Amino acid sequence: MKAEKFPSTTEADDRKQTQTGADRLSVVILTYNEQANLPACLESLKGLDCEILLVDSGSTDATIEIARRAGATVFTHPFENYAAQRNWAQKNLPFHTNWVLHLDADERLTPALVKEITRVLKAPPDAMNGFLLRKRTIFMGRWIRHGGHYPSYHLRLFRTDHGICEDRLYDEHFLVRGKVGLLKSDYSDIITSDLTIWTLRHARWAELESQEIMRPSNSHLRVSPDPLGTPVERRRWMRTGVYLRLPLFVRAFLYWFYRYFIRVGFLDGKEGLIFHFLQGFWYRFLIDAKLYEAQQRISRQMAEKRRGSQRMLTFKSPGQRQVSEMVPCTAGLSLKRNAAFV
């Protein structure tokens, strides 16, 4: 992934010259074949004085047509990962407003949040450059309110030139230069896919998360783990400072037990049982299984490399010292023979 950085002061000043309306808002929506979800997402934006900018990654259904009918401006860009797509939007979209809100097509603003955003943008605190939003998850038609899953905080609303997405393969969060506030109202993440698609997506995300855990990163664009920081920083500290230090596989069970029993996830009914088990245990167990698989693969490769360094042909000649010569081995066979050194 290309290294990203916050816009320089000069870039921000140049961009501000094209922005009009201090209390207007740009809404950025990422899409790919979202014809089933997009209409409700767009409907939830009514009441906001906003421009809608849709970034599509090659939809083959009616997504683009639906967006244009709603007055959205559509841009296309190949999808690499969520962080790269969001940063491309931040860097390349022609914003005409001072504030931007990032959404996914399966997310909805509640009427209370629309009113709160409108009120805040009419008189935003001078020192405040972004706001955390409270997310509620709707799974199988039920609001998952327990198990420590609500509220979940995400930094989605910020001044156009002050935000960038952290360098992560998955579970990425926006970073904002300056102070960040907290809005009281919710937005909803509506899980509309069936369990087959939902689990397939989580299997793909587990692969990305396992790669993220293993890959070294020197990027400064990361949420800082802080037990005394924002809700996002505290959650990141719990993950890196506590969860990832626990043994593989055991931690997935402990996390599920904590969510379902200690944080009373069982109060979410049958839908909660399915959600907390799959998302709280199975998904994290799968991440650990992929980490274990990768560790085994690396161990085999290292062992093979060590064996390869020991493969040699030994030559002997009467009255001369033994000479060893390193040779490559073909087809994984160990070759060793004595020959007269001429």
CATH at residue 75: 3.90.550.10
Count how many domains the chain has: 1
pLDDT single digits (tens) 112-156: 999 999 999 998 877 899 999 999 999 999 999 999 999 999 999
Is the pLDDT higher at 7 or at 308? 308
Is the pLDDT higher at 308 or at 173? 173
Above 60 in pLDDT, residue 4?
Answer: no
pLDDT single digits (tens) 225-270: 999 999 999 999 999 999 999 999 999 999 999 999 999 999 999 9
Q: Is residue 308 part of a domain?
A: no
Q: Positive or negative CA dihedral for 48, 50, 55, 61?
A: positive
Q: Is residue 203 part of a domain?
A: no
Q: Is residue 294 part of a domain?
A: no
Q: Is residue 323 part of a domain?
A: no
Structure tokens at 187: 């937005």
List the domain range (segments joined by +) for residue 140: 9-192
pLDDT single digits (tens) 27-82: 999 999 999 999 999 999 999 999 999 999 999 999 999 999 999 999 999 999 99
Helix (H) / strand (E) element for 25: namely: strand 25-31
Q: What's the pTM?
A: 0.84
Per-residue pLDDT, 336: 37
Mean pLDDT of the chain: 88
Structure tokens at 336: 């060793």
Nearest to 134 by CA among 83, 182, 192: 182
Q: Positive or negative CA dihedral for 113, 165, 36, 279?
A: negative
Q: Is residue 149 part of a domain?
A: yes
Is the pLDDT higher at 224 or at 315? 224
Q: Is residue 35 part of a domain?
A: yes
What is the DSSP code (8-state) at residue 207?
H
Structure tokens at 160: 């156009």
Q: Is residue 179 part of a domain?
A: yes
Q: Positive or negative CA dihedral for 144, 150, 156, 159?
A: positive
Above 70 in pLDDT, residue 323?
Answer: no
Q: Is residue 340 part of a domain?
A: no
Count the neighbouring beta carbons within 10 Å of the beta carbon of residue 264: 14
Say how far apart CA 79 and CA 85 lie, in whole Å: 6
What is the DSSP code (8-state) at residue 281?
I
